[in-house]
């Protein structure tokens, strides 16, 4: 069987925090460097996730500025790469709207219609990147605009984004009936001690909601349907289920922090990871830091999503904020898992090397703009892109060289456990969920 394709993308988030806007394309300098596209093409990438973001393009209501996008999309085509057009990337839309606005989805659809009319040849689209994650950070945890912190706001933000995807793809396909939806979402698994089992089950069900909604699965009998119906969202769920918009490709974004562990024994953990629900206090930590038998989630995710949806899958973000040698091992782990999944019958189409130019301030989830920077395939900390060893690794993968470093990665070593390992002597060995 042929290997997956190799895709890429630079970190392109545009997010609003209060009255401040953070634009990763400007922070990395990519906004002013069209020649970055030549660097990306030289890696051997077949496709490029690329921002045609609503916030950057519709500069006033009804007024779009296409100059930047025109030049770059022309060059991407000349270089032989396919663009995967992104319209919202963790944003809440331009200043006149937000994720809780009933006009958000129709407004995004208008932007999609204008974008598709401008570029009718683009076939791959991601109207909204990671709707569930964006809803959590913007309307449940309050990190990003509009800074809500309650469950009804969270579900409103998610459903508005899902409607935005549905309406946007309707407009795009009216221009190009061959257009494909590549729907991205962060995905992992939550484990727990027995007292936290209900919360872990809820979080594992919630993780799937972007794809479950778009595929029309959230109907009576779905684990979360009754919860949302009681919150007053029944009519919206019915409308989505009656007119779903199944992805053509599931976009899997997975990080070492995507897998979580919930522990009711809060005294074992520092204050900053303690939280809870209305019934129980618990710590929420990275599974890799507490589970003695933890293994990376790439293959587990491929198998779970493949069985559930029977749809093609692409890794749409493979990135690790760490030393370059560990970044290379993370990419190698992903590539090997994708290849093995293909060989076992899971339709894994591609692996995307994400954050090609690195990323800024993600250590604080973009809430503290302190200039923290982590490189990617290129390091822009000196003001110009310098290829790292990861870039060489990507180029070798593109040529078919899959030689991997045999050294153990940090997520495989015993010293990764910064909390008391679980399971332990006072915990039942089968208390897993």
Measuring CA to CA, which residue among 92, 70, 69, 85 is closest to residue 14? Answer: 92
Terminus-to-terminus CA distance in the chain, angstroms? 35
Contact assessment for residue 216 and residue 241, using Cβ atoms and an 8 Å cutoff: yes
Residue 249 to residues 75, 119, 195, 246, 328: CA-CA distances in angstroms?
25, 21, 36, 9, 25
DSSP 96-162: T--TT-TTHHHHHHHHHHHHHHH-TT--EEEEEE-HHHHHIIIIIS--STT---SHHHHHHHHHHHH
Q: For residue 35, how many other CB atoms are within 10 A of its CB?
A: 11
pLDDT per residue over 222-236, tens digit each?
999 999 999 999 999
**Alpha helix segments (H runs only) across 356-388:** none
Contact assessment for residue 68 and residue 34, using Cβ atoms and an 8 Å cutoff: no
**What secondary structure letter does DSSP report for 364?**
G
User: Coil, strand, or helix at residue 395?
Assistant: helix
Measuring CA to CA, which residue among 398, 384, 375, 255 is closest to residue 10? Answer: 375
**What pLDDT score does 141 carry?**
96
Q: What gap in Å lies between CA 433 and CA 430, rounded to an integer?
A: 9
* pTM beyond cutoff 0.85: yes
Q: What gap in Å lies between CA 414 and CA 258, rounded to an integer?
A: 19
**The two structure tokens encoding residue 44:** 């051997």
CA angle 106, 110, 111 (to 5 degrees): 120
Q: What gap in Å lies between CA 86 and CA 96, rounded to an integer?
A: 20
- The alpha-carbon radius of gyration of the chain (Å, integer) is 21
**What pLDDT score does 298 carry?**
96
**What pLDDT score does 433 carry?**
43
**What pLDDT score does 224 carry?**
98
User: Coil, strand, or helix at residue 317?
Assistant: strand
Predicted confidence pLDDT, tens digits, the chain (433 residues): 688 999 999 999 999 999 999 999 999 999 999 999 999 999 999 999 999 999 999 999 999 999 999 999 999 999 999 999 999 999 999 999 999 999 999 999 999 999 999 999 999 999 999 999 999 999 999 999 999 999 999 999 999 999 999 999 999 999 999 999 999 999 999 999 999 999 999 999 999 999 999 999 999 999 999 999 999 999 999 999 999 999 999 999 999 999 999 999 999 999 999 999 999 999 999 999 999 999 889 999 999 999 999 999 999 999 999 999 999 999 999 999 999 999 999 999 999 999 999 999 999 999 988 889 999 999 999 999 999 999 999 999 999 887 766 578 999 999 999 998 888 644 533 334 4
Q: What gap in Å lies between CA 172 and CA 184, rounded to an integer?
A: 18
Question: What are the residue ranges spanned by the domains of the chain?
Answer: 5-416
Contact assessment for residue 352 and residue 317, using Cβ atoms and an 8 Å cutoff: yes
Q: For residue 413, how many other CB atoms are within 10 A of its CB?
A: 10
Measuring CA to CA, which residue among 273, 251, 266, 44 is closest to residue 132? Answer: 251
Q: Which CATH architecture has domain 5-416?
A: Alpha-Beta Barrel (3.20)
**What pLDDT score does 369 carry?**
83
Place of tokens 């093609």: 312
383, burial (CB in 10 Å: exposed 0-12, middle 13-18, buried 19+): exposed
CA angle 281, 284, 285 (to 5 degrees): 150
Measuring CA to CA, which residue among 89, 96, 223, 212 is closest to residue 159? Answer: 212
Q: What gap in Å lies between CA 317 and CA 352, rounded to an integer?
A: 5
User: Coil, strand, or helix at residue 165?
Assistant: helix
Q: What gap in Å lies between CA 422 and CA 67, rounded to an integer?
A: 55
């Amino acid at each position: 069987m042929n290997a997956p394709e190799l895709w890429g993308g630079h970190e392109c988030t545009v997010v609003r925090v209060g009255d401040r806007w953070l634009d990763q394309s400007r922070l990395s300098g990519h906004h002013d460097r069209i020649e970055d596209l030549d660097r990306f093409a030289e890696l051997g990438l077949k496709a490029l996730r690329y921002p045609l973001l609503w916030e950057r393009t519709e500069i006033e209501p009804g007024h779009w500025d296409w100059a930047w996008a025109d030049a770059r999309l022309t060059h991407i085509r000349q270089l032989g790469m396919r663009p995967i057009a992104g319209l919202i990337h963790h944003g809440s839309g331009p200043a006149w709207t937000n994720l809780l606005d009933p006009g958000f989805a129709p407004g995004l659809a208008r932007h999609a219609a204008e974008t598709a009319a401008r570029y009718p040849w683009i076939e791959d689209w991601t109207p909204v990147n990671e709707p569930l994650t964006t809803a959590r950070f913007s309307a449940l945890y309050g990190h990003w605009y509009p800074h809500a912190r309650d469950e009804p706001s969270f579900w409103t933000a998610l459903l508005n984004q899902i409607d935005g995807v549905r309406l946007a793809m309707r407009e795009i396909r009216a221009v190009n009936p061959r257009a494909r939806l590549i729907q991205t979402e962060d995905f992992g698994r939550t484990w727990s001690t027995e007292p936290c089992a209900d919360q872990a089950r809820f979080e594992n069900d919630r993780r799937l909601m972007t794809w479950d909604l778009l595929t029309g699965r959230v109907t009576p009998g779905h684990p979360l349907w009754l919860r949302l119906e009681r919150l007053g969202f029944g009519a919206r769920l019915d409308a989505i289920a009656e007119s779903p918009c199944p992805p053509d490709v599931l976009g899997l974004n997975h990080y070492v922090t995507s897998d979580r562990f919930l522990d009711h024994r809060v005294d074992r953990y520092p204050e900053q990871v303690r939280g809870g629900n209305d019934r129980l206090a618990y710590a929420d930590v990275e599974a890799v830091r507490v589970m003695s038998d933890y293994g990376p989630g790439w293959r587990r995710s491929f198998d779970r999503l493949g069985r559930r949806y029977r749809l093609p899958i692409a890794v749409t973000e493979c990135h690790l904020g760490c030393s370059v040698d560990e970044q290379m091992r993370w990419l190698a782990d992903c590539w090997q898992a994708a290849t093995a999944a293909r060989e076992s019958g899971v339709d894994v189409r591609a692996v995307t090397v994400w954050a090609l130019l690195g990323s800024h301030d993600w250590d604080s989830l973009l809430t503290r703009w302190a200039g923290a920077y982590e490189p990617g395939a290129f390091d822009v900390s000196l003001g110009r892109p310098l290829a790292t060893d990861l870039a060489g690794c990507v180029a070798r993968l593109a040529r078919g060289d899959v030689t991997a470093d045999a050294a153990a990665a940090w997520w495989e070593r015993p010293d990764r456990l910064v909390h008391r390992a679980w399971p332990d002597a006072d915990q039942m060995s089968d208390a897993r969920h």
